[in-house]
Amino acid sequence: MAGRTVWVQGFPDELPPEKAADKLTIHFQRTRNGGGDVAEVRVLPGSPPCALITFEVPEVAQRILKVKNHVLALGKTRYPLEVILHPGELSPDEVLRGQ
């Protein structure tokens, strides 16, 4: 997963994890957001919530990082997202918070 995974924070914590994963997948697959094919979205527990999004190819992650302002729109409310490159691969039981 090295180079293909980004860490995302800024979506609302009242959003159930499954719905958050769906909304983030849609956002990051859109070409207007720099996106592409998403391999996996893992919403991690905690407050504030965060997610690890892994793309099929590293080039998509690089394009995502070049977009300066990611904003997740849910109804009339807009949530600015913080997006950074995840530094490496996760072991199956690792939970990483933004660093």
pLDDT single digits (tens) 31-70: 999 999 999 999 998 888 999 999 999 999 999 999 989 9
The answer to whether residue 96 sits within a structural domain is no
Query: For residue 72, what is the domain's CATH number?
Result: 3.30.70.330
Q: 26 in a domain, yes or no?
A: yes
Nearest to 60 by CA among 42, 40, 37: 37
- Planar angle of CA 95, 11, 81, nearest 5 degrees: 95
Find the domain containing 70 and state its range.
Answer: 5-85
Residue 71 located in a structural domain: yes
pLDDT tens for 9-38 read 999 999 999 999 999 999 999 999 999 999
Phi, psi dihedral angles at 39 (to 5 degrees): -85, -40
Does residue 92 register a pLDDT over 60? no
CA distances from 4 to 47, 48, 91, 94 (A): 24, 23, 15, 17
Whether 75 is covered by a domain: the verdict is yes
Q: pTM to 2 decimals?
A: 0.84
